[in-house]
Amino acid sequence: MKSGNLGYPRIGLERQWKKALESFWTGELAEADLHTRLKEIRLSNLRLQQEKGIDIIPVGDFTYYDHVLDTAVMFGLIPRRFGYEGGTPSLSVYYAMARGSKDAAACEMTKWFNTNYHYIVPELDGARPVLTGNRLLEAYAEAKEELGIEGRPVLVGPLTFVKLAKGYAPGELGDWVRRLLPLYVQVLRELAEAGVQWVQVDEPILSTNVTAEELALAEELYGQLVREVPDLRLFLQTYFEAVEAYEKVVALPVHGIGLDFVHDGGRNLEAVLRCGFPDGKVLGVGLVDGRNIWACDPDDKLKVLAALRNGVEDSRLVVQPSCSLLHVPVSTVKETGLDPVLHGALAFADQKLEETVLLTKAGKLGEAAVAAELEALRKGRAALNESSFRNKAGVRKQMAGLAAQPVTRAGTFEERRERQEKRWQLPLLPTTTIGSFPQTPEVRSARRKWRKGEWTEEQYQRFIREEIGRWIGIQQELGLDVLVHGEFERNDMVEFFGEKLEGFAFTGNGWVQSYGSRCVKPPVIFGDVEYTAPMTVAETVYAQSLSEAPVKGMLTGPVTILNWSFVRDDLPRRDVAFQIALALRQEVEALEAAGIGMIQVDEPALREGLPLKQLLVEEYLEWTVKAFRLSTSTVKDETQIHTHMCYCEFQDMIGTIRALDADVISIETSRSHGELIASFEEETYELGIGLGVYDIHSPRVPPAAEMEGMIRRALQVLSPRQFWINPDCGLKTRRMLETVAALGNMVQAAKQVRTELEGGGAGA
């Protein structure tokens, strides 16, 4: 029996990776220095895994931005608009694909299965695949030469890669897989010639609802890979759910299969015990949770391992995390400020490696050999479960009476719309933003001074009010119709609320990668969630006092708080969402009572939590809709409820979006605007909607004419009465000058099309 790992966080304990990338993008760091710094981080990550005692260490999981983007670039799948002319792609081309440039829009970005990580979507339309370099060979050689590590290269599998790409017709999946297959063969052959023994090929798509045709394609392609490179052993890794069609997957012509035994709902284990596991193949046993931060229950894990050992010899077992550890923070070593009861129940990436090795030792040597370490895990979990944090009488009483709580607005949407239009008197195509404005160095500096005690509460609040006032003035000068206060007091849209609710804790260094260099520090929901006092009323009311135009109250919704947090594992996620929803409802009511008549409850992460299995989706959507409506259903009809979603395949979610019963929803669509608009030609949507008319993830400032085109296209399928104009997401990460310029162009575009509508022109 061996221990293995599937991937390690790229960012470094101090987020050195993020800082290096951003210094390079701003011109402060030369390209040669960027390579040097990233190599230092990469080798440090490998060295740590070696020192922890991991037997099988992945190489090639490190990236300069995103592992799917790496695969696309390695295969020369670079859209023409980036000016690539062959050869080794430059970093400027690589980063232009990820972030855009002044001449070319960035590639689309979307979530990685049902995680909070986002990848760059490969574009296959018109592409001619060619191998531009073997990055896995370089990673393997570096690990071996520098550290003596016989690493296992990690590669996104061909079926998953093409399924996650865009730019081809549904019937062309097999054609594209076969077109890429020679390049995969070439990569693997070069690895085999260099002495590589095993390659990890990630195929998480096999944990989704794959078809019989796709399974037949997988059998064909892996059969060819094994025939073409007979000296190499392929380890096919799945994760995030139970595999679809277990017997067919484990029969694929590969040498090892990795399965998730944490997030499989018990289905992978049941399938192995019922059907057996093929002789001669290695089984990767995903025992340690790679997606959450809690110390494992050793008795539960060893029970699973014991059951598997009844049918699979120890020599064919690899104990490993359930997925790559890029989804969890690096280490708990710096979390000295946490309550000891909570700290004792945590495990970040480094601790998960230790758990992996511990479970392997318990399996090989017997539990008695590691009894003290196992008992420490048991005590840590028990102390938290028995604590007052998880046993609040008031919250438990609320939850017991959940069935009596209102989840429906008093009036229908049409009734509400009449009252809201009468109250607000907004023009056609009203303009607004999603909520946040640039978090400048001055804003971040002020927050640091306040947190460190260098500024008093009075000094900090004075600064926040000055920023609110400045940006209310900017919005009025630009001519926006509905304003926001800018969220300058908020470090993060989830962390801010967690800091003000009971049941949350915050790490000092618990950063994880969201996309590119964007790192987030998710709150930890470790106890019962309880509302104690207003959280956003003071800033919103102050902003409203500065303008006659409406100012939206801005809240993060219950499902997004849930999905963007590390969530306790002793309750169903549904119950935790309802606890959050009941707390947020009190804040919604407090805003309304203070005179705020537009309240935005954002759910950008609602879709991110979708189960991979269709049979589980309906149940998830049912309780997430209920959680949102628990938060918003007690307001008056004339109070307008807004919400926002990110990266939403609208055509798949229209029923759910309608069921939320929000008066206005804004959807992040600028990178796939045309595809979304096309869905309205098949579906009818009658509520208010704002389709993002420019991409806030790029520094590019699109001209007004470009946005006008997007608006006119949308008006072919949407009524002007329901259509709002907005950026596609919050503006927190952008700089001030580009923000003002882009919003100015947006307002200009809206006014131009509005004039055409009022004059009976195009789109009327």
pLDDT tens per residue, range 202-214: 999 999 999 999 9
What pLDDT, on a 0 to 100 scale, did the predictor assign at position 60? 97
Q: What are the Cα distances from residue 442, in Å, to 495, 513, 732?
A: 20, 24, 13
Is the dihedral angle over the CA atoms 302, 365, 257, 123 positive or is it negative? positive
Task: Say if CB 608 and CB 563 are below 8 A apart.
Answer: yes
Q: Which of 16-20, 406-410, 636-640, 757-761 has the lowest mean pLDDT?
A: 757-761
Q: Which of 354-368, 458-472, 568-582, 694-708 has the lowest mean pLDDT?
A: 694-708
Mean pLDDT (whole number) for 448-468? 96
Q: What are the Cα distances from residue 434, in Å, to 580, 604, 740?
A: 22, 11, 14
Residues comprising the chain, all counted: 764
Tokens 């004075």 sit on residue: 462
Kindly indicate the confidence band of residue 694, based on its pLDDT and cuts at 50, 70 and 90: confident
Kindly indicate the confidence band of residue 671, based on its pLDDT and cuts at 50, 70 and 90: low
Q: What are the Cα distances from residue 464, in Å, to 113, 439, 442?
A: 38, 11, 11
Q: In 3D, which of 329, 284, 298 has the Cα closest to residue 3?
A: 284
Would you state the structure tokens that stand for residue 682, as one six-digit string? 């098949």
Q: In 3D, which of 205, 200, 199, 232 has the Cα closest to residue 217?
A: 205
pLDDT tens per residue, range 525-571: 999 999 999 999 999 999 999 999 999 999 999 999 999 999 999 99
Would you state the structure tokens that stand for residue 22, as one six-digit string? 């951003």
Question: Cα–Cα distance between 198 and 5 in angstroms, integer?
Answer: 13
pLDDT tens per residue, range 65-119: 999 999 999 999 999 999 999 999 999 999 999 999 988 999 999 889 999 899 9
pTM over 0.85: yes
Would you state the structure tokens that stand for residue 203, as one six-digit string? 């195929």
Task: Say if CB 524 and CB 565 are below 8 A apart.
Answer: yes
Kindly indicate the confidence band of residue 580, based on its pLDDT and cuts at 50, 70 and 90: very high
Q: Is 697 annotated as catalytic?
A: yes
CATH fold of the domain at 406-437+477-505+531-758: TIM Barrel (3.20.20)
Contacts with 240 (C-beta within 8 Å, 6 or more apart), sequence order: 113, 114, 115, 204, 207, 260, 263, 291, 322, 323, 612
Q: Which position has the higher pLDDT, 759 or 92?
A: 92
Task: Say if CB 61 and CB 154 are below 8 A apart.
Answer: yes
pLDDT averaged over every residue in the chain: 94
| In the chain, domain spans | 406-437+477-505+531-758
Question: Cα–Cα distance between 232 and 250 in angstroms, integer?
Answer: 18
Q: What DSSP character marks residue 334?
A: T
In the chain, the amino acid numbered 573 is R
Distance in angstroms between the alpha carbons of the first and the last residue of the chain: 70
3-state SS of 181-241 is HHHHHHHHHHHHHCCCCEEEEECHHHHCCCCHHHHHHHHHHHHHHHHHCCCCEEEEECCCC
DSSP per residue over 248-283, as a string? HHHTSSSSEEEEESSSSTTHHHHHHHHH---TT-EE
3-state secondary structure of 567: strand
Mean pLDDT (whole number) for 19-31? 97
Question: Cα–Cα distance between 316 and 330 in angstroms, integer?
Answer: 29
Rounded to 5 degrees, what are φ and ψ at 256? -160, 150
Question: Cα–Cα distance between 21 and 26 in angstroms, integer?
Answer: 9
pLDDT tens per residue, range 628-661: 999 999 999 999 999 998 755 666 788 888 999 9
What pLDDT, on a 0 to 100 scale, did the predictor assign at position 675? 64
Give Cα 58 to chain centroid, integer Å. Answer: 23
In the chain, the amino acid numbered 285 is V
pLDDT tens per residue, range 371-428: 999 999 999 999 999 999 999 999 999 999 998 888 999 999 999 999 999 999 999 9
Task: Say if CB 132 and CB 75 are below 8 A apart.
Answer: yes
Q: 67, 327, 644, 697: which is the annotated catalytic residue? A: 697
Q: What DSSP character marks residue 539?
A: H
Kindly indicate the confidence band of residue 450, based on its pLDDT and cuts at 50, 70 and 90: very high
